Amino acid sequence: MTVKSNHVTIKGIKDGLVFLMDDQCDFEDLLEELRYKLEHSHQNILTGPIIHVDIKLGARAVDEEQKESIMDIMKQKGNLLVRSIESPDTEPEPEAVQSVTTMTGIVRSGQVLHLDGHLLFMGDVNPGGIVTCTGHIYIMGALRGMAHAGYGGNEEAIIAASYFAPTQLRISEVISRPPDEWESREAGMEFAYLQDGKMQIDKLSNFVRLSRDFNVFKGV
């Protein structure tokens, strides 16, 4: 199969990679080349530590289904985490939401993901994987590894996950290892926060009530 090499340009930046997409070619040709380059031409970027990726679509306007097609290809590579997709139809985020970074992928054993600010992670954190950030951590997936929120001293940070079965939790300087009974209980949607300097675990359904009582949403 012959694939043109001018539809997708991959450039390194200080904190990751930028994927520059041709905005004039047919969209299916763009996807074909993206898939080909990730599978054949750029194997050297698919091993090792997690790499943050910004996708720039130029003047090409895309709908949600087309964005999802791009994300499906990127998700096949476990160490590539997409943090932004820029296109003409991308609306500016309100100032209050700009501090929340959304990423997708899988944090595998031995990989470390660190972020300044709040993190919304769409994917799983496997055993042996580590996620740390200075703000809150929201994981729309399974947390089976280690999570450290409030890195640097923010005691109001929280850690939440759709499937809550971490090997270790840390908020600011407070460390909590899951009790033995966690191994036998059915893991579910829960979150961790600090109350009076101690780690507390509660059901995600109580998120809003506790945010009002203990101000755990401060800074979001």
Mean pLDDT across the chain, nearest whole number? 80
**Given the structure tokens 């079965």, which residue do they identify?**
165
Say yes or no to pLDDT of 117 above 90. Answer: no
For 62-77, what is the mean pLDDT?
A: 85
Across 68-72, 100-104, 122-126, the highest mean pLDDT is recorded for: 122-126
Residue 169 has what pLDDT? 93
pLDDT tens, residue by residue, 150-176? 998 888 899 999 998 899 999 999 998
Residue 38 has what pLDDT? 81
Q: Cβ distance 186 to 164 under 8 Å?
A: no
Say yes or no to pLDDT of 195 above 90. Answer: no
Which has more confidence, 144 or 176?
144
Say yes or no to pLDDT of 208 above 70. Answer: no
Total-model pTM:
0.56
Quote the tokens at residue 17. 């990679």
| Cα distance between residue 127 and residue 115, in whole Å | 19
Residue 207's H or E segment, with its range, is: helix 207-214
Going along the chain from its start, the domains and CATH numbers come out as 8-86 (3.30.160), 95-214 (2.160.20.70)
Band of residue 89 on the pLDDT scale cut at 50, 70, 90: low
| Per-residue CA distances from 148 to 46, 48, 72, 133, 172 (Å) | 25, 21, 28, 7, 7
Residue 13 has what pLDDT? 80
